[in-house]
Structure 1
Amino acid sequence: MSSSDPQRFQPVGIDPAEVKALAKRVRGPVLTPEDEGYDTERAGYQLARQHRPDLVVGATGTADVRAAVEFARSHALPVAVQGTGHASAGIAGEGGVLINTTRMTGVRLNLEANTAWVAAGTRWDEVIHEAAPAGLAPLSGSYPGLAVVPYTLAGGLSLLSRRYGYAADHVRSIDVVTADGRLRHVTEESCPDLFWALRGGRDNFGVVTGIEIGLVPITTLYGGSLQFPGESAAEVFDTYLRWTATVPDEMSSSIMQMSYPDIPAFPEALRGRQAVNIRIAYAADTLDDAEGLVEPLRALGPTSDTLGQLPYTEAGSIYADPPSPGFIEAGTALLGALDTTAVRTLLDLAPPHAPVPHIFELRHLGGRLALPPAVANAVGNRDARYLLNVVSRLERADITEIRPAHKRMLEALAPWSTGGRLLNFMNGEDAAKEVRSAYEPKDYQRLTEIKAVYDPDNTFRLNHNIPPADPRNPRLA
């Protein structure tokens, strides 16, 4: 929708003179819906639903962030923060101030401590590139184009997480602008409650301008994918589930069924058909036993096999997530132990037996993910064994078909569900309603109490919102 469209969102009345005054305080762009470039500035990876703010500030540094937060507070406007915009379908809001951090990039390595300081808008591929010559790697996810800060503060499920835990478990310090406009350097020692809450509570407590993260001594993985025809799905899923019960913590993997569209962009053998992909990322100190570990999967006769050793700088090729923005609807759930009945339940609700979803995936959890971190944080649901993601492209089906199909699949798997969610993957229609499910009950209560201290007016509420504990607060979400 263009900025000249008369049906577009109508902003609240902000005095143009005050907008001009703010623009003089910041180095980045300050745009209202009437300004050229507004749509570009608010755009992100997710196109299905995007923030439509009264004002968007393209921050270039901490001073710009402080000015934007102070402006929002003085005008009683809510604040949203956006990096690459992958999560916006679940949390996008109308009105308020959107702070775009994509211009705030930079990586500083500390090789004595094996850490990296990372600016708010930095993507994982930048950190991977800087760390690799030192023989180190960050706990990055399957897609290296994600922004580091929001991914990590929401937990961060890495290709290395079964060995090392969540990315949030490896945060050493955080620079954050809180609702009072103050820049705080937060560590376990300086501010233990806020440090605990930010690592898992994402942007509910302020705008993070940079974080210091631990790096791990990984240079090479054994990884890639095995592809099988859709007709073999039941056997492949059953074998995969049995296999995950036997592998060491250094082995991370997932299994996915994908329905390929009938278009020339895909090989003729896949067009209009289903295929099953198993993705592997094995990160042990020695990779000598890798071939033996995957042999039970190879014995099923994959039609495509890309497994082999690769440098961590090429880890993004394992999942090969699409880099281009798209219209996506997704659902998610955390699951416990799965059996043959669970597999049949999944497959009966997926193509070719039922229309949509276009992709459903199980990621193997456990290992170090199931253990508490050295320094406690708010990331919950560590007892889950698998993560289910259900994804559909809106270009290929109507939303009125997709949402009921996702709901049927998630409800059918209720007997195996833990009832929890991972914040990084909560991007569907009900994301705002499911925030509590990302935390243990006592931790959620503690988060609301910390929120009441640092953001009592719930200024940071255009997100996976945790309202402040005080029930008398008029801005409770």
Structure 2
Amino acid sequence: MNSSDPQRFRPADIDPAEVKALIERVRGPVLTPEDEGYDTERAGYQLARQHRPDLVVGATGTADVRAAVEFARSHALPVAVQGTGHASAGVAGEGGVLINTTRMTGVRVNLEANTAWVAAGTRWDEVIHEAAPAGLAPLSGSYPGLAVVSYTLAGGLSLLSRRYGYAADHVRSIDVVTADGQLRHVTEESYPDLFWGLRGGRDNFGVVTGIEIDLVPITTLYGGSLQFPGELAAEVFDTYLRWTATVPDEMSSSIMQMSYPDIPAFPEALRGRQAVHVRIAYAADVLDAAENLVEPLRALGPMSDTLGELPYTEAGSIYADPPFPGFIEASTTLLGELDTAAVRAILDLAPPHASLPHIFELRHLGGRLALPPAVANAVGNRDARYLFNVVSRLERADITEIRPAHKRMLEALVPWSTGGRLLNFMNGEDAAKEVRSAYDPKDYQRLTEIKAVYDPDNTFRLNHNIPPANTGNPTSA
């Protein structure tokens, strides 16, 4: 069944005249499933599962967002928000109103305060570009094509996070349209509870139209990757774990094993084989110590070595995440201290011993991530030592094989798991069921109470949903 088949949709009972009235209020496109351009407007980076709304609004600014929220509220329709659409595989919904913020772009750098105001649909590469001439950098992630707002409000694990903490820890103010259609300028002073909850609670409380974030005085990194043959996986993983216990907070890193398909798009030496990548981002005021710090990894004899100094404007080359959309299934968990037994638990269930998963990785946490921010927020699980992420592409395997393979790997890691997850990486089939695991229990309860104040009908529920507390409303279940 193709994407234009009307049987895929359950349109709400909306008077066409009311849709026409909304179109007249909104500068951007307002599209139904029958309209040309509907599929393009709702499409995002993640193709495995996408929102299928009754109505999609391509917002051009705050006025469009307010009109869309007021329309949805008046018709008792749920609202979803989408920037680049990386997370939709886990939380995409049927029906309702989808607000696409990609047209809402813009960056204003404040050189006196070392901050930037960023519009809702802006991507990190634009912020990086605008901040660099001032000798500043944002706490952007491994892929500069991500939307700033959704990444940041879900926590935001940056290449600089072991030194500076989560991106959400560095938000100064937030402009948000809440479920009543009102635009609120949210700060620690003006709306302390809402400011706390938005930073970690993502789009549960409204549609964010812009945020003010800190920039940090970083212009150059020591970074890149070391690539090893899959035959050395056990030795490289063991060495990596020992190494992470010794590095300073300025050193962020990850280790990944990837199974390459046997296709001409990849170098002949990698086709049909596994390779292990260690990615490095060392962000110190003086980079002289970098070569000595990475020597234990280099001593293992990488077959490829791209480590060196690079401007922060080229930081996206460290992970070299694919810029094109794909059909992806992913699972994740947070881990505590790891040992050789944990490495064996992972590798015994990975290629070449098994056909799946295609990619799995560990990201080193700790450092400033483990400490509370200067202004408290809802981001939880700060005691985790590593983030484990497992990814498979649906173009290469059937979902009925991928999901059990991912589950087996996560179950094998239970002895080392903290039981928590990081919202940025919760994109698998159970993402909507696992939202509680992203927060400390008392913080989750507080989030439900804030939700009851600003969105008692759970209008914003086509997401990693936090239902409102004690409303008695059936949509809050």
What interval of TM-score do these two structures reach, taking the shorter chain for normalisation? over 0.9
TM-aligned CA deviation for residue 472 of structure 1: 1.4
- In the superposition, the TM-score normalised over structure 2's length comes to 0.99
Q: Residue 165 of structure 1 contacts residue 368 of structure 1 at CA under 8 Å; is this kept in 2?
A: yes
1:25 aligns with 2:25: yes
Q: Retained in 2: the 8 A contact 1:12–1:95? A: yes
**Post-superposition, which runs of at least 4 consecutive aligned residues in structure 1 deviate over 6 A?**
none
SS in 2 for 1:475: helix
Judge conservation of contact 2:188–2:195 (CA < 8 Å) in 1. yes
Cα distance per residue 1:226-281 (max 9 Å; x no partner)? 00000000000000000000000000000000000000111111100000000000
**Structure 2 residue aligned with 1:340:** 340
CA change 1:447–1:180 in 2 (3 A) is: same
Computed over aligned residues only, the root mean square deviation of the Cα atoms, in angstroms, reads 0.7
Partner of 2:311: 311
- Could you say which residue in structure 2 is the equivalent of 1:289? 289
- 1:427-461 deviation digits (Å, cap 9, x = unpaired): 00000000000000000000000000000000000
Instruction: Work out whether residues 362 and 388 of structure 1, in 8 Å CA contact, stay in contact via their aligned partners in 2.
Output: yes
Separation in 2, partners of 1:34, 1:470: 38
Aligned-pair CA distance for 1:476: 1.1
Give the corresponding residue for 1:143. 143
Contact 1:48–1:327, Cα closer than 8 Å, also in 2:
yes
2:265 & 2:3 partners in 1: Cα distance?
33
Structure-2 change in CA distance of 1:399 and 1:307 (3 Å)? same
Contact 1:65 1:207 in 2 (8 A): yes
Structure 1 residue 47: Cα displacement:
0.2
Q: Post-superposition shift, 1:474?
A: 2.3
Q: 1:11 Cα deviation (Å)?
A: 1.3
Does the aligned pair in 2 maintain the 1:137–1:216 contact within 8 Å? yes
Identical residues among aligned pairs (%): 92
Q: CA shift at 1:10, angstroms?
A: 3.2
Native 8 Å contact 1:3 1:38 kept in 2: no
Compute the displacement of 1:14 (Å).
1.2
Structure 2: how far apart are the matches of 1:403 and 1:435? 19
Contact kept? 1:50, 1:93, Cα under 8 Å: yes
Deviation at 1:3, TM superposition (A): 5.3
Q: Render the CA deviation track for 1:196-242: whole Å, top value 9, x for unaligned.
A: 00000000000000000000000000000000000000000000000
Instruction: Give 1:8 shift.
Output: 2.6
1:446-465 correspondence runs (5 A): 446-465=446-465
The answer to whether the 8 Å contact 1:156/1:167 transfers is: yes
| Cα separation, 2, equivalents of 1:343 and 1:2 | 42
Q: CA deviation at 1:282?
A: 0.1
Alignment check: 8 A CA contact 1:3 1:35 kept: no
8 Å Cα contact 2:174-2:185 kept in structure 1: yes
Give matches, 1:263-278, under 5 Å.
263-278=263-278
- The separation in 2 between residues aligned to 1:117 and 1:44, in whole angstroms, is 24
Residues in 2 aligned to 1:406 and 1:202: alpha-carbon distance in whole angstroms: 26
Does the CA contact (< 8 Å) of 2:456 and 2:471 recur in 1?
no
What CA distance in whole angstroms lies between the structure 2 residues aligned with 1:17 and 1:274? 57
Corresponding residue SS for 1:190: coil
| Aligned residues of 1:3 and 1:36 also touching (Cα < 8 A) | no
Sort the Cα spacing of 1:2 and 1:27 in 2 relative to 1 into closer, same or farther, 3 A: farther
Tell me by how many angstroms 1:4 deviates: 3.9
Distance in 2 between residues matched to 1:145 and 1:447, nearest whole Å: 29
Q: For 1:67 and 1:4, locate their aligned partners in 2 and report how far apart those are by CA, in whole Å.
A: 26
CA distance in 1, matches of 2:8, 2:422: 33
Question: In 1, are the aligned partners of 2:162 and 2:249 still within 8 Å (CA)?
Answer: yes
Report if aligned partners of 1:334, 1:417 keep a CA contact under 8 Å in 2. Answer: yes
Task: Check 1:263–1:119 CA distance in 2 against 1; reply closer, same or farther (3 A cut).
Answer: same
3-state SS, counterpart of residue 391 of structure 1: strand
Contact 1:142 1:319 (C-alpha < 8 Å) held by counterparts: yes
Q: What is the CA–CA distance in structure 1 between the aligned matches of 2:4 and 2:316, rounded to whole Å?
A: 39
| Cα displacement (A) at 1:475 | 1.7
Aligned equivalents of 2:3, 2:412: Cα separation in 1: 42
How far is 1:470 from its partner?
Answer: 1.1
Q: Name whichever of 13-22 and 199-208 sits farther off.
A: 13-22
Contact 1:2/1:39 (CA < 8 Å) preserved in 2?
no
CA contact (8 A) 2:176 2:210 kept: yes
Contact 1:33–1:54, Cα closer than 8 Å, also in 2: yes
- Rounded to whole Å, the distance in 2 between the matches of 1:354 and 1:297 is 26
Distance 1:238 1:168 in 2: 32
The structural deviation recorded for 1:2 is 4.9
1:308-328 Cα distance to aligned partner (Å, 9 max, x none): 000000000000000000000
Q: Partners in 2 of 1:459 and 1:9 — Cα distance? A: 19
Alignment length, in residue pairs?
A: 477
* CA–CA distance in structure 1, aligned partners of residues 266 and 276 of structure 2: 15
2-side partners of 1:324 and 1:142: how far apart?
15
**In 2: Cα distance, 1:347 partner to 1:128 partner:** 37
Contact residue 220 and residue 283 of structure 2 kept, 8 A:
yes
Secondary structure of the equivalent of 1:388? strand
The CA deviation string for residues 170-218 of structure 1, in whole angstroms up to 9 with x for no partner, is 0000000000000000000011000000000000000000000000000
User: Counterparts of 1:273 and 1:415 in 2: how far apart (Å)?
Assistant: 29
Give the drift of 1:473.
1.9
- Indicate if the aligned counterparts of 2:10 and 2:94 stay in contact, CA closer than 8 A: no
Mapped partners of 2:395, 2:430: distance in 1: 21
Q: 1:376 to 1:121 in 2, by over 3 A?
A: same
Gaps of 5+ in 1: none
Cα offset, 1:46, TM superposition: 0.2
CA distance in 2, matches of 1:158, 1:263: 32
Q: CA deviation at 1:5?
A: 2.3
The 8 Å contact of residues 226 and 305 in structure 1, kept in 2 or not, is answered as yes
Distance 1:256 1:142 in 2: 13
Alpha-carbon separation, structure 2, partners of 1:116 and 1:471: 37
Residues 233 and 276 of structure 1 are in contact (CA less than 8 Å); yes or no, is this contact kept in structure 2?
A: yes
Contact 1:224 1:280 in 2 (8 A): yes
